[in-house]
Amino acid sequence: MFRGIKSFLSGNYRVDLKTQQIQYFMIFLLGLYHFVMIALYFTLFGMNPMSMVNILSVLIYFLCYFSAKKKKYDMAYYLCFGEVVGYYVAATYIFGLGYGFNLYLIGLLAASYFASYIFSTEKKQIAIIRFLAIILAAFLVSVLISSFHDPILGTDRDFSYELINWLNFVTCACALVLFSATFMSRINVLENRLKSQNIEFKKMSMRDALTGLVNRRYLRNKYTELDAKEEVYSVIIADIDDFKKVNDTYGHETGDKVLVAVSKIFKEFVRGSDFVCRWGGEEILILMPVCTKKQAKRVGIQLLEEVQTAEIESTKGEKVTITITMGLADSTEGEQFMHSFRVADRRLYLGKRSGKNCIVDHD
């Protein structure tokens, strides 16, 4: 608990406080303050007019609580705002200027901007300028009151009256700290959420949405790195045989199921260091670092067998049998990846013309 409070006050709190939680917390603190002022201060020192004002304030905060409970957040804020302004004017009328009650107006300045960020919705914005004008008007009214009206409780300033200054200062300072800490916590939560979304978007931008395989953008980074090294790597380009016929016979939804099933097989049976990419349409490319053509061919033969024996059902429950044809080349057959890819792609079409369902590793 102590760590949580410390984290909150330092502005590093990572829990996303809901609007209703924030309002309940603020209402509780403000209501508690007024109750304490009634029970332990104004009544104790016989300042009955201010006791009556605080009783009214407590009742207003009960209304604020029920408004927040019904998710009428704007109404709850308006009631809180009106209570603080009214409390300041009443205190000026009873005590005169001074005693630290003017600090409440400074707190309201921060609260207005805080509320515009926390409580506003797209349909209904909390009008900051309007509230700033009300705060200025309340200050001018208090000046006029003090100019033409003698304080009800007189001007003698004994210890009990001087202590009001300190109580008001501490109260307003605590309120500003709470507003700032809550504001910073919300910013931290939103920043973390934004970072997570950016990471997720980056992952999505590097992967094919249907199959989950990496896309060309991701693979480009990898084969660029491999071209900068002197290690041998292999490239396999695979194409699902008669895929158009599958779509025409069973529908495009079944065609998507076939692509997903084949992609899953490729991910399961390649090496952990290999990269499987949906190159385009029904073509899948495998980039195999530190791998000779002979080693890559063994993997390719296993993939041929796994795909041919895969149990895939159409959307109507019919068994769909598919095969693939592959072209294979390694980096010794080209200066860069795209040269090796063109060699593998040429061999893929040689395999298509030779009867399909095979892997071709030479011209």
- Give 139-161 pLDDT, tens digit per residue: 899 889 888 888 887 656 666 77
Question: Among 177, 203, 229, where does a domain finish?
Answer: 203
Q: Is the pLDDT of residue 122 over 50?
A: no
Together in a domain, 53 and 169: yes
Q: Give dist(CA 321, CA 307) in Å, integer.
A: 9
List the one residue out of 13, 11, 58, 64 whose CA is nearest residue 37: 58
- Give residue 114's domain range: 2-203
Q: Is the pLDDT of residue 248 over 80?
A: yes
Is 23 domain-assigned? yes
Together in a domain, 95 and 123: yes
Question: Among 203, 228, 246, where does a domain finish?
Answer: 203
Together in a domain, 248 and 353: yes
Q: Give dist(CA 284, CA 152) in Å, integer.
A: 87
Q: Token pair of 92, please?
A: 């000026």
Is 209 domain-assigned? no
Average pLDDT value over all residues in the chain:
82
Model confidence over 311-355: pLDDT tens digits?
A: 888 888 889 999 999 999 999 887 789 999 999 999 999 999 999
What is the pLDDT, as a whole number, of residue 123?
46
Q: Tokens 């205190």, residue?
A: 91
Range scoring the smallest mean pLDDT among 7-21, 49-63, 112-126, 260-274: 7-21
Is 325 domain-assigned? yes
For residues 110-134, give the mean pLDDT.
70
- 311: CATH: 3.30.70.270
Q: Is the pLDDT of residue 105 over 90?
A: no
Together in a domain, 114 and 185: yes
For residues 239-251, give the mean pLDDT.
93
CB atoms within 10 A of CB 106: 13
Q: Token pair of 73, please?
A: 């957040």
Is 210 domain-assigned? no
Range scoring the smallest mean pLDDT among 124-128, 138-142, 217-221, 334-338: 124-128
Together in a domain, 12 and 101: yes
Range scoring the smallest mean pLDDT among 112-121, 206-215, 227-236, 241-250: 112-121
Together in a domain, 167 and 311: no
What is the pLDDT, as a whole number, of residue 77?
78
Model confidence over 43-68: pLDDT tens digits?
A: 777 788 888 888 888 888 888 888 87
CB atoms within 10 A of CB 115: 25
Task: Identify the residue with better confidence: 144 or 108.
Answer: 144
Per-residue confidence at 100, pLDDT binned at 50, 70, 90?
confident
Range scoring the smallest mean pLDDT among 80-94, 173-187, 339-353: 173-187
Is 187 domain-assigned? yes
For 24, the 3-state DSSP assignment is: helix
Q: Is the pLDDT of residue 267 over 90?
A: yes
Q: Token pair of 22, please?
A: 């924030």
Together in a domain, 304 and 328: yes
Q: Give dist(CA 348, CA 300) in Å, integer.
A: 12
CB atoms within 10 A of CB 156: 7
Together in a domain, 75 and 104: yes
Together in a domain, 197 and 222: no
Together in a domain, 222 and 199: no
Per-residue confidence at 24, pLDDT binned at 50, 70, 90?
low
Task: Identify the residue with better confidence: 186 or 333.
Answer: 333
Is 208 domain-assigned? no
Q: How far is CA 71 from CA 89, 119, 187, 313, in A?
A: 29, 10, 22, 50
Q: Is the pLDDT of residue 119 over 80?
A: no
Together in a domain, 42 and 165: yes
Is 69 domain-assigned? yes
Q: Is the pLDDT of residue 120 over 90?
A: no
> Is there a contact between 233 and 225 (Cβ–Cβ < 8 Å)?
no
Per-residue confidence at 10, pLDDT binned at 50, 70, 90?
low
Is 233 domain-assigned? yes
Q: Give dist(CA 130, CA 242) in Å, integer.
A: 70
C-alpha 263, offset from chain centre:
31
Together in a domain, 301 and 173: no
Question: Among 203, 234, 260, where does a domain finish?
Answer: 203
Q: Token pair of 285, please?
A: 């490319």
* Total number of domains in the chain: 2
For residues 219-247, give the mean pLDDT.
91
